[in-house]
């Protein structure tokens, strides 16, 4: 037996682990090249926005474009934070997103658990109607939804920005699929034999086992609520209730298109979303890949 080859029982030499590491297979090299290219494509706008947020307005549109600001300035951030209620926008967006995420995670997990583990009349029809709503674009229902909210007298921004979206069909479907795959009926039967109520079974037995899916749903819900522009644009008219996307959009109409302030605000606005993704990245990956590999 040598350092470069290992003889199998049939006598055929096989490359050692060290040699295999020194010579990656072409498929793996192509995969890494593709992933690197995709990462560069997705990161390029963020890098450009970060660099341009330290440029003055004329330098942003200079040709040929320069990646690095020369000279770099923090005047955009100073003008944004001193001349605009940016922190109020940030607080509004973060608060709405957090409350919406908590409601979505609880209600979707409860509904998904009910669809997965209970039998009742009309269950299949109700689920099909709920699931078919995913095929309806939001632009189709935005006007009827606004009229409904206004007619009911529920058009206050703190209510209208949260309540219509606390039970999305995608979240219910996702939790139903995960519950069916990850929660054995025997565990529920054992809890009932021990005298647990149905809600206590859900709260103490089911929810801890749904943690990966809950993390993935929380990230999806927070990013969706935090970055939403169309619905706040329709429902919010008072500047004190502006969210970050709505406030940054308003900068385009105030004293011309203030791209320098918008870029600075976009970088600051990305911080909460990136923080949530980093904190819940393990649950996100586990939840999205659950059931992909059979044991």
Residue pLDDT, tens place only, 49-68: 888 889 888 788 877 877 78
Would residue 183 count as lying in a domain? yes
Would residue 52 count as lying in a domain? no
Domain of 167 in residue numbering reads as 79-289
In the beta sheet, which residues pair with residue 6?
A: 14
Would residue 254 count as lying in a domain? yes
| Side-chain half-sphere exposure of 26, counting CA atoms within 13 A | 0
Number of domains in the chain: 1
* Whether pLDDT at 5 is above 70: no
Please report, for residues 136, 241, 250, 265, 267, the alpha-carbon distance to residue 85 in angstroms, rounded to integers and kept in the order given.
35, 11, 12, 11, 16
Residue pLDDT, tens place only, 252-289: 766 567 888 888 999 999 988 888 888 877 766 666 65
In the beta sheet, which residues pair with residue 5?
A: 15
Would residue 21 count as lying in a domain? no
Would residue 67 count as lying in a domain? no
The two tokens of residue 113 are 């658990």
Would residue 57 count as lying in a domain? no
Residue pLDDT, tens place only, 216-248: 899 889 999 999 999 999 999 888 999 999 998
Q: What is the CATH number of the domain that holds 202?
A: 1.10.3720.10
For 7, the enclosing helix (H) or strand (E) is strand 5-7
CB atoms inside a 10 Å sphere around CB 151: 9
Return all residues near 218 (Cβ < 8 A) that are at least 6 apart: 101, 104, 105, 276, 280, 283
Would residue 173 count as lying in a domain? yes
Would residue 185 count as lying in a domain? yes
Q: Which of 15-19, 133-137, 178-182, 286-290 has the lowest mean pLDDT?
A: 15-19
Radius of gyration of the chain (CA): 26
Instruction: Output the furthest CA–CA distance in the chain (Å, rounded).
Output: 83
- pTM, 2 dp: 0.80
pLDDT at 294 (0 to 100): 45
Return all residues near 77 (Cβ < 8 A) that are at least 6 apart: 53, 264, 268
């Amino acid at each position: 037996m040598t350092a470069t080859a290992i003889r199998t029982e049939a006598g055929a030499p096989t490359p050692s682990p060290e040699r295999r590491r020194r010579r990656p297979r072409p498929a793996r090299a192509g995969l890494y090249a593709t992933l690197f290219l995709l990462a560069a494509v997705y990161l390029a706008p963020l890098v450009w926005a970060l660099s341009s947020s330290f440029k003055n307005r004329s330098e942003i549109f200079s040709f040929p474009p320069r990646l690095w600001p020369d000279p770099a300035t923090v005047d955009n951030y100073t003008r944004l934070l001193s001349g605009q209620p940016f922190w109020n926008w940030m607080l509004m967006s973060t608060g709405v997103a957090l409350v919406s995420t908590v409601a979505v995670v609880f209600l979707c997990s409860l509904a998904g658990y009910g669809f997965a583990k209970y039998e009742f009349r009309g269950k299949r029809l109700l689920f099909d109607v709920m699931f078919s709503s995913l095929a309806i674009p939001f632009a189709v229902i935005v006007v009827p939804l606004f009229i409904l909210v206004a007619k009911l007298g529920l058009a206050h921004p703190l209510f209208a920005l949260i309540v219509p979206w606390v039970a999305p069909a995608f979240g219910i479907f996702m939790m139903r699929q995960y519950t069916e795959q990850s929660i054995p009926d025997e565990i529920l039967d054992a809890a009932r034999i021990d005298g647990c109520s149905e809600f206590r079974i859900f709260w103490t037995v089911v929810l801890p086992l749904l943690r990966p899916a809950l993390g993935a749903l929380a990230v999806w819900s927070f990013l969706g609520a935090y970055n939403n522009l169309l619905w706040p644009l329709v429902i919010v008219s008072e500047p004190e209730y502006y969210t970050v996307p709505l406030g940054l959009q308003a900068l385009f109409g105030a004293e011309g298109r203030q791209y320098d302030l918008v870029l600075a605000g976009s970088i600051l606005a990305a911080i909460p979303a990136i923080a949530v993704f980093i904190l819940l990245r393990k649950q996100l990956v586990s939840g999205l890949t659950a059931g992909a590999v059979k044991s």
